[in-house]
Amino acid sequence: MTPARALAAELSKLLSLRATWLALGGTLAANLLLAVAFAQTAPRDVVDAGLAPIGYTQAGFVVLGVLAACSEYVGGQIRTTLTAMPRRARQLAAKHLATAIVALPAAAIMAVSGVALTALVLGDAPTTFAPIVGVTGYLLLTTLIGVAAGALARRTLVAVAVLLGYLFVVGPLLRDNLALSKYLPDTAGAAMWFPGPLAPAQGALVLTGWTAVLVAVALAGHHRRDA
């Protein structure tokens, strides 16, 4: 199967999954509700308040990535897929690319809608749009990490538990107690829209590096393991 046909097949499978739309729809709803809640707290910058929910709703993109990788293992459909696409590295690469095609516009909608709703609630206008671009990139890379983790674990609950456990428990603990925490994926990623120890470009570079390594490990593991 050619790369183009492999991509089309993976994209079709992802878009046909009910879980894909449930994850994206639920994440968007939660993002908007949280945006309203943050807008009604202490006065904040429109962009800061509008993007604040991302710290929570990023979980939806983690789930999306894991589901994209693990859905075929539930009923053994992966055997049919690998029969049609015996080149495993190509198949998993196509799955990552298909997921990115879905995740990119979803991430942009998530970021823009949160800021737009906050601007409407506060009656103010954003003064910069750079953080929106940073959030979009962060959510995209986070989704790809989810795909890689799902491909390695092959079990949805295991992969989701590990990633969310890191993002919401382990990561914050390390951030407060580790000198080099700025190079961890969650901290570096957050710098893409809220600059801290790293500048946005530096954070993007670090998170891209983490993503590339995890995807490479997933591709190598998928190539060598049995279905």
81/41: higher pLDDT = 41
209 has a pLDDT exceeding 80? yes
Structure tokens, 98: 């298909």
Residue 3: which pLDDT band, with cuts at 50, 70 and 90?
A: confident
75 has a pLDDT exceeding 90? no
Q: How far apart are the first and last CA of the chain?
A: 18
Q: Are the CB atoms for 26 and 59 separated by under 8 Å?
A: no
Q: In angstroms, rounded to a whole number, what is the distance separating the alpha carbons of residues 227 and 10? A: 17
Work out the average pLDDT over 150-166: 94
84/186: higher pLDDT = 186
CA-wise closest residue to 62 among 153, 142, 167: 142
- Residue 166: predicted pLDDT: 96
Q: Are the CB atoms for 149 and 211 separated by under 8 Å?
A: no
Residue 90: which pLDDT band, with cuts at 50, 70 and 90?
A: confident
200 has a pLDDT exceeding 90? yes
227 has a pLDDT exceeding 80? no
- Residue 141: predicted pLDDT: 98
Residue 42: which pLDDT band, with cuts at 50, 70 and 90?
A: low
Which helix or strand (DSSP H or E) is residue 26 part of? helix 18-39
SS3 content of the chain, % helix, strand, coil (to 5): 80, 0, 20
Q: Where are the domains of the chain?
A: 3-224
Work out the average pLDDT over 55-63: 97
Percent residues over pLDDT 90 in the chain: 68
**What confidence tens digit (pLDDT) does each residue in 100-154 have?**
999 999 999 999 999 999 999 888 888 888 999 999 999 999 999 999 999 999 8
